[in-house]
Structure 1
Amino acid sequence: MPTASQPLVTIVALCHNHARFLETALDSILTQTYPQLEVFLVDDASTDDSPAILRRYAAAHPGWHLRLLPANVGNCQAFNSAFREAQGEFIIDFATDDVLLPDRVMQQVAAFAEAGPRCGMVYSDAELIDEAGRFVRRHFRRDAHGQLHPRPASGAVFAEVLARYFISTPTMLMRCATLAQLNGYDETLAYEDFDFWVRASRDWDFYFLDAVTTQKRLHPQSMSSKGYRPHDPYLLSTIKVCRKAQVLCRTPAERAALAVRVRWELRQAARHRNFPEARELYRLLRELRAVRPLDWLVGAVLSVI
């Protein structure tokens, strides 16, 4: 039974056409050294052999909850379908092309205890692996002595998550109360992590655990491989989150941090010829009163395309 020192942790294993990686991912749940786990297997209408593999694992582990969605609804809605039933104090959004290292949950639960009740999310370093499981590099760059420069942010990180990408999404352990306060993921979005970082960090602390807890798989079908290119499927969601952040900003420093993000997204959108989205980002940059000479030049070009 869960205790104060070993609270229940829910793992939501989300699958969409991950058959070739799925057994490795599910076996990594079984090798966790932390005993108090609740597991949901959620298949988002896969068209490969994933449902058969999931059925086999669910039959072998009757305590696991199997959800085979009849239609593809996307990561946010698929995750929420399990989150609404979750009983854990903490929760992992686990894409089943990735791998949990054995001490992942144990280490992160201990980090939550150290961070205290205002902590809404613990994240860590990750190993990036290729399709065959071979090591590529770590998420965070380190010096010759293994030290991080700068050390990833902990505590009140709202401005940091506005300005730059630094959190390895697959490493996150979230507090369920934090997600409940946000009403789960925003199901109108094509992806979840930037929106969670912005909304959660407004009122909750984040904590960086200096350990490698997860292997993130790099392959052409992964979500992260589809952004920052022509017809970017995530750009409209990014703009929507930036608009949310604009409302949440309270200080000039926070608005300046948001301008850094918007400027980056604007230049990427223009570079990849996503012109309608680039125009909307330029409008937002003007509203933030943060247009610089090069931004003005980009805006001038957009006005005649």
Structure 2
Amino acid sequence: MMNYPVVSIGIGSYNNARYLVTLLDSVQAQTYPAIELIVVDDCSTDDSAEVIENWIKQTGYPVIFVQHEKNQGVVRTFSDCTQLANGQYVSLVGSDDVLDPDLIAQTVAEFDRRGPKCGAVYADCRLIDATGQEIAPSFLRYFNPTYADSPPEGNLIVPLLRGLYLPTLTTTVRREALEAVGPHDETLFSEDLDMWLRISRSFDFAYLPAVLGAYRVHDRSAIHTNKLALNETYFRIYRKGYFEGPEEWAAARHSLADHAEHYYASQGPEAPARLWFAFQETRLPKTALFWLMARLGVKYTALRRATGR
């Protein structure tokens, strides 16, 4: 054990009691011997806390378990996981996902091969439904096939802005990278994009060519229930203005226009203001049209039908 760097796995738990044992068992089944498990429950209203406590008693597996007295949100929950972590590497996992047994072992080996400039390693994963049935064999291909055949490495700022989605459950970060970029921004709804962008400024990302986990999609997934909040997160990231050079800014503005359109499509209450801001930044005629229609109270679906799109 003394020859293995510790990997801290932080689980952010909220109202996913039915999936927790599967995830916890997958952590216990890791072939890598030096794992620190941290679970932070964000004041779940189901029996998540009881499930976690029972699993700890039944397995005897060492766990740092923290319960929030009131709901703090996903970013604060994962921020707490990070602050509690003592490992040389940190992996943050949603409470409904599943890890393959060799995920951590292969990830640490990849860090060793890449050297200290490598700040994060990511791999692909499967998509599964609420029952565990496979939806798609590749997360990367499912969410953006543009990058599936040749996943990018190094500085990922432009790919991330152009629609590359990293599966958080198979992305592990070097502690030095986390310390260098500073804490999670707790004003955001979602923590991962902002953190990946900041890490990319100073460290390389490495792609591990393997499928090493399962990302679960169900009716309570954030991609279904929090579309407006996810769009708000990108607007806040954009306003930070930490992009450099014409290529990064072009990608950032392209993404801003997309998020403004998606916000309008999701019937966001501040759609006119978001679209106007996006138009001022991009000067795209399409965005100006969306802004005008939103001001007039025309729904996005009606506009798409009228234009035949």
Tell me if TM exceeds 0.5: yes
Structure 2: distance between partners of 1:285 and 1:208: 35
- Aligned pairs, number: 291
**What is the distance in 2 between the residues matched to 1:149 and 1:57?**
37
State the distance in 2 between where 1:202 and 1:280 align: 27
Q: Could you tell me whether the CA contact under 8 Å between 2:260 and 2:278 is conserved in 1? A: no
The equivalent of 2:234 in structure 1 is 238
Task: State the shift of 1:198 in Å.
Answer: 1.7
- TM-score, normalization by structure 2: 0.88
1:56-107 Cα shifts (integer Å, max 9, x gaps): 2333436321112111111111122232121101111111210000000011
Q: Secondary structure at the match of 2:84?
A: coil
Secondary structure of residue in 2 paired with 1:211: strand
Deviates further, 46-55 or 62-71:
62-71
Instruction: State the 1:239 CA deviation.
Output: 0.8
Gap runs ≥5 in structure 1: 143-147
Q: Which amino acid in the other structure matches residue 214 of structure 1?
A: G
Q: Give the C-alpha shift of residue 184 in structure 1.
A: 2.4
Match of 1:43 in 2: 41
Query: What pairs with 1:161-200 in structure 2 (closer than 5 Å)?
Result: 161-200=160-199
- Whole-Å Cα distance in 2 between the matches of residues 277 and 201 of structure 1? 31
Could you say which residue in structure 1 is the equivalent of 2:243? 249
| Structure 1 stretches of 4+ moved >3 Å | 302-305
Residues 25 and 43 of structure 1: CA distance in aligned 2, closer, same or farther (over 3 Å): same
Aligned partners of 2:118 and 2:206 also within 8 Å: yes
Retained in 2: the 8 A contact 1:179–1:185?
no
Note the C-alpha offset of 1:122.
1.0
CA–CA distance in 1 between the matches of 2:235 and 2:124? 27
* Residue 292 of structure 1, aligned match among 269, 276, 284: 284
Q: Which residue identity does 2:249 align to in structure 1?
A: R
- Counterpart CA distance in 1 for 2:269 and 2:15 is 31
Q: Is the 8 A contact 2:271 2:291 kept in 1?
A: no
The residue aligned with 1:145 is: none
Q: CA deviation at 1:219?
A: 0.6
TM-score for the superposition, normalised by structure 1: 0.89
Measured against aligned partners, the alpha-carbon deviations of 1:208-249 in whole angstroms (never above 9, x if no partner) come to 111111101111112222244xxx2333222101212xx212
Q: How does 1:84-233 map to 2 (within 5 A)?
A: 84-137=83-136, 138-141=138-141, 150-228=149-227, 232-233=228-229
1:30 aligned partner: 28
Change (3 A) 1:149 1:187: closer
Structure number with higher helix proportion:
2
* Superposition CA RMSD, Å: 1.9
Shift of 1:37: 0.4
1:11 aligns to what? 9
Alpha carbons of structure 1 residues 271 and 62: separation in structure 2 relative to 1, 3 Å: closer
C-alpha distance in 2, partners of 1:225/1:202? Answer: 30
Distance 1:252-1:128 versus aligned 2 partners, 3 A rule: same
Aligned position for 2:266? 272
- CA displacement at 1:272 relative to structure 2: 2.1
Q: Do the aligned partners of 1:15 and 1:46 also contact (CA within 8 Å) in 2?
A: yes
CA distance in 2 between counterparts of 1:242 and 1:256 reads 12
Distance 2:9 2:148 in 1: 31
What stretches of structure 2 of length at least 5 have no aligned partner?
298-309
Q: Which amino acid aligns with 1:293?
A: P
Task: Indicate if the aligned counterparts of 1:25 and 1:98 stay in contact, CA closer than 8 A.
Answer: yes
Native 8 Å contact 1:262 1:285 kept in 2: no
